[in-house]
Amino acid sequence: MKAQFANPFVSAAYEVLQAEVNATVERGPLSLEESQFTNKDITVMIGITGPVRGVVMYSMTEEVAKRLVSVMLGQPVNEFDSLSESAISEIGNVITGVAARELERAGYSCRISPPTLVMGQHTVISTVNLKRLVVPLKTQYGEIEISIALEEARAGARDIGLTVAKGV
């Protein structure tokens, strides 16, 4: 898991959260996780294919999701309904799209899948052979955690990039 692949997602999240919900974002400590991923309440999952492949997940509690959607819709959201699902998926989709642009500039032209929404606490998701770089983002709406599990398709081998990743 190279930091080179993770950086575009973190900077895209800053840019999109600022544009969509006027968020001030502060990055928390990074970690490289090998264990399975446990859902907070709501996770947007987006697959990446091409020279860099894997999955990126954006996870948050329902409270945080409702606060974000309230700002996006310009009205208070009390129930996380289908319109909220659509809005929160869109955030994940746009962050990933912006990151894909950066990856292309770095020479990795990838495709992204439509978002999948995983809901419910304690849902366990395994990225199987891929380690995840976990980046907590603190905003005024609460924490959004990005998990990035990507590998270079050609190489196959997994690069352990935690020391490198500190420079994210």
- Interacting residue ranges for another protein, rule: CB under 8 A: 15-16, 19-20, 72-73, 82-83, 86-87, 89-90, 93-94, 96-98, 100-101, 104, 109, 112-114
Give the C-alpha separation, 158 to 138, whole Å.
29
Supply φ then ψ for residue 24, to 5 degrees.
Answer: -100, 125
**Alpha helices, DSSP H only, in 82-160?**
82-105
CB of 95 to another protein, least distance (A): 8
CB of 84 to another protein, least distance (A): 8
Nearer to another protein, 72 or 168 (CB): 72
Query: How far, CA to CA in Å, does 163 sit from each of 3, 68, 93?
Result: 9, 33, 29
Nearer to another protein, 31 or 86 (CB): 86
Nearer to another protein, 31 or 109 (CB): 109
> Is 54 within 8 Å of 151 (Cβ atoms)?
yes
CB-based contacts of 86, cutoff 8 Å, min separation 6: none
CB of 136 to another protein, least distance (A): 22
> Is 10 within 8 Å of 135 (Cβ atoms)?
yes
Nearer to another protein, 92 or 161 (CB): 92
CB of 116 to another protein, least distance (A): 12
